Structure 1
Amino acid sequence: MDDDLPAAHSMDTTWYAVDEHGHVGVFDTGEDGALPVDAATGMSPVDPNFDVALLELTQLATLLERGDDPMAGRESWIVAGRTVVVVDPPAGDADPPAPPAWVQEAIDEDELELVRPGPPLLLLSRRALDEPQVRALSEREGVRWTIPLVDVGELTNTGEPPDGFFRFGRDHGDDPGRYVCSRMPEDPVHVDALEPELAAALSRLRLPVDFRSHEPVHLADYEGIYAHTWGDLPLRYTEGWQEEQRARRAGLTEQQQRTRGMVVLVVMIGLLALVFGLRCR
C-alpha cells in the first residue's frame, strides 16, 4: 500500500472492485476518499478500457428480466455504432425458448454476443455497424427494437449501479481508505456472468474480502494495494500521523508569527524613512 501518493482526483469518483467470491463492489470516494491505482472507474480517457455503457447495459438486462420495456411504444433507433438488439424468440415448447436461427448464426460467427438469454434475448454487436447494417438488423425475425450502445443510459437513467452490485461509501473526514457498505443486494451478481469486456475491467482490482460480511473495507489493511489520496493524506489516520500534523501546524504558526513580525518591521522602517525624508526637505 502507499499512504503518501499525491492527489489524484479532485472530485467525487466511482471505482469498482471484485471480492474473493467474485461479487462486484461499487465504491464512491466522496470528496476525500482514496482511489486505488488499479481500479476501473469507467471514466475515459482515465480508464479507456472500460466503457460505462456496458454497466448501463447490465441495468437494461435487469429491467427486461423484471418485465419492464423502456422502449415500449417506440421504434428502433437507426444509428451507426455498436448496437443493442432485443429479440423475442419464436413461440414453442422449448424452455428456455430457442432463439431464431439467424441469432444463433450471428453468435457463432462472432457478430453478436448474448448479454441475456431471455426471453426476450438481449444482444450486443461485437463491433460498430453502419446505418444500413443497423436497419437490416432491426428488420430481422423477432427483433423488438435496436438502440445504440452509447444511448442505453437514456433508457435506464437510474443513477444507481446495477442490481446485484454491492455499494460502498464513506463519511467525509473519516480515514480516506475506509469504506462502509451502504447497499447489499439480495442476489449478488457474479462477475463472470457479466459481459466479458466489462467483467475483465471490473476484475482488475480484487480485494481479499467478502462483501457480504457487512465489515468495512479498509484499503490500508491490504499489502500491494496502491491508492491515490487527496493531498498528503494517509490511508489511515494514525496517532503518529496526527502528532506530525499538530507539530507541523505549530511550526507553521511560529513561522507565521516571525513572518508577521518581519513585515511589521519593514513597514515601520519604511514609515520612518518617509518621515525623515520629509523633514530633510
Structure 2
Amino acid sequence: MYSKAPLVELGEFLKVCRARLSPRTVGLPESGAPRRVKGLRREEVARLAGLSTDCYARLERGRVPVSRPVLARLVRVLHLDDAERDHLFALAAQGDCLPRRRPAQKVQPQLERLLDELPATPALVLGRHMDILAWNPLAAALFTDFHRVPEKGRNYARLLFTEAAFRDLYLDWSTVARSCVAQLRLLAAQCPEEPGLTALVGELSVADADFRRWWAGRHLVGLRVGTKRLRHPLVGDLTLDWDSLTCSADPTQQLVILTAERGTPSHDGLRLLASWTADPYEPERDVTA
C-alpha cells in the first residue's frame, strides 16, 4: 500500500523552497514587472529542471512520485543545502511508510550506565520524537526534575514549548525552539504518518502559535552540535557546548552532553551545581592511593 501523505509534504516543501528564490538567484532575467507569486514561478522551476510545467505542477500537488534523477535536478535548481537535500530525498523515499504504533521505548542499558559515569557533565538520552528516556542528576539540576514530570510528558519539544520554567531557562529561546522544530521536521520526514509524532505535532500546534508558524515554514537546520546560553536560577548565566552521540544498538536513541570550557565562569557554575547534586553518602575516593 502506497501512502500519498509524504508526497503532499514533499510538494509543500518544494513550494516553500521555490518561494524564497528570485529570478536573479537562478540566473533568469528580471523584467521589473510585478510578479503575482513570491519567488520563482512553477514554469520557471520546471524549465530549469528540464520538466514540463504540468509535470512539475503535479509534483507540487503531491499527485505523482518523483525519481532520484529529478530530485537531484531540483536540489540544484532550488539551491538546497545538505540538510534540505536529505529532507527532500527522505520525503520521496517514504511513500510506502505505513502508519504504525511502536511500543514504548526504553533506554539502552549501555547508555544508562554511561550516564552514571558522567557526574560532572549534564547528560540525557533522547529517543524517537525527542522523548527524554534517561538523564543524570546534573541534567536534572540544570533543566528540571524530570522525575516530577509524568512519563508521557517527558519530551524535550513538549517541555520547551509548554513549560514556562523550561522556556525561561534559555536566553535565546526562539533560536533553540526553531532548531527543535527543524529537528522534528527531519524526524517526520523519516515516516510522516507515525501516530506518536503526528500526535505530538498536533498537540504543540494547538498549544503554541510560534510552533504553528515555524512548522508551517518548513525551516531546516539539522544541528547535531551547538551552543546553548542558559540563565540558571541558582548558578546564573551559563554558556554550554552540546553534542549528541548516536547509539549503535538503537540509532533512534542519542546521548546529549553539555560541557563548558575549563577556566570559564560557566565551567565553575557547572562544578558548583555538580557539588550540590553529589551523593552525600558516597565515600570520597583516596586520590593518593
TM over 0.5: no
Structure (1 or 2) with the greater helix fraction = 2
The normalised TM-score by structure 2 is: 0.22
In our comparison, the structure showing a higher alpha carbon Rg is 1
Structure (1 or 2) with the greater strand fraction = 1
The normalised TM-score by structure 1 is: 0.22
